[in-house]
């Protein structure tokens, strides 16, 4: 596969390490009352869609950017690639 890195352009997927579902960005609030439940779900539950999937790839053999890649799990078509930092901010993460 080829991932179109937002900074570096098209790169072979071999340069990347795959992590999984981009929902891992949404780490729950540890202070919340039901944190034990939300952290359980955060660690153990994933959607496994046959189709479009947002997932985390790490450019380990490159510039060490984490990316959020939107990939169709059936066709491997990649429709969007963002820096994970930007995606995280868009999801409300900051400090």
Partner 1 sequence: MSDMTVNSGVAFTSDRAAKGTAKGQSHRLTGGLVERAKPLSFTFDGKTFQGFEGDTLASALMANGVKLMGRSFKYHRPRGVLTAGSEEPNALVELRSGARQEPNTRATVAELYDGLEAKSQNRWPSLEHDMLSINDKLSNFLTAGFYYKTFMWPKTFWEKLYEPIIRRAAGLGSASGEEDPDVYDKGFLHCDLLIIGAGPAGLAAALTAGRSGARVILTEEDFLLGGRLNAESFGLGDMSGMDWVGQTQAELAAMDNVRILPRCTVIGSYDHGVYGAVERLADHVLAPEPGKPRQILWRIYSKRALLCAGSTERPIAFENNDRPGIMLAGAMRAYANRWAVTPDQRVAIFTNNDDGHRTATDLIAKGVEVAAVVDTRADAPTVEGTELFAGAQVVDTKGKLGLEWIRIRTASGVTRDIPVGALGVSGGWNPNVHLTCHQRGKPEWREDIAAFVPAGDIPVGMSVAGAANGAFSTSAALRTGADSAVASLAALGFDVAPADLPEAEDAPVNVTPFWFVKEGKGRAWIDQQNDVTVKDVKLAHQENFRSVEHLKRYTTLGMATDQGKTSNMGGLAVMAELAGKEIPQIGTTIFRPPYTPVAMGTFGGRSRGKEFRPTRLTPSHKWAAENGATFVEVGQWLRAQWYEKPGETHWRQSVDREALATRSSVGICDVTTLGKIDVQGADAATFLNRIYANAFGKLAVGKVRYGLMLREDGICYDDGTAARFAEDHFVVTTTTANAVVVYRNMEFARQCLWPDLDVQIISTTEAWAQFAVAGPKSRDLLRKIVDADHDISNEAFPFMGCAEITVCGGVRARLFRISFSGEMAYEIAVPTRYGNAMMEALMEAGEAFGATPYGTEALGVMRIEKGHVTGNELNGTTTALNIGLGRMVSQKKDSIGTVNSRREGLNAEDALNLVGLKPVAATEPVVPGSHLMAETGEVHAKTDQGYVTSAAYSPHIGSSIGLGFLKNGSARMGERLRAVNPLQGQEVLVEVVSAHFIDPEGERLRG
**Residues within the interface to partner 1 (CB under 8 A):** 1-2, 12-13, 17, 19, 24-25, 27, 30-31, 35-36, 39-40, 42-44, 56, 58, 60, 64-66, 75-78, 83-85, 87-89, 93-95
At closest approach, how far in Å is the CB of 48 from partner 1? 18
At closest approach, how far in Å is the CB of 18 from partner 1? 11
At closest approach, how far in Å is the CB of 72 from partner 1? 11
Closer residue to partner 1 in complex, CB, 49/77: 77
Q: Which residues pair with 9 in a beta bridge?
A: 5
Contact 52, 70 (CB under 8 A): yes
Distance CA 33, CA 2 (A): 43
Closer residue to partner 1 in complex, CB, 8/35: 35
At closest approach, how far in Å is the CB of 66 from partner 1? 5
């Amino acid at each position: 596969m080829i991932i179109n890195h937002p900074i570096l352009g098209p790169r072979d997927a071999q340069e990347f390490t795959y992590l999984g579902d981009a929902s891992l960005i949404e780490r729950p609030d540890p202070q919340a009352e039901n944190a034990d439940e939300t952290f359980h779900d955060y660690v153990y539950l994933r959607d496994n869609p046959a189709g479009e999937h947002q997932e985390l790839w790490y450019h380990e053999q490159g510039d060490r950017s984490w990316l959020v890649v939107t990939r169709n799990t059936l066709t491997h078509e990649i429709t969007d690639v963002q820096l994970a930092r930007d995606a995280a901010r868009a999801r409300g993460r900051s400090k």
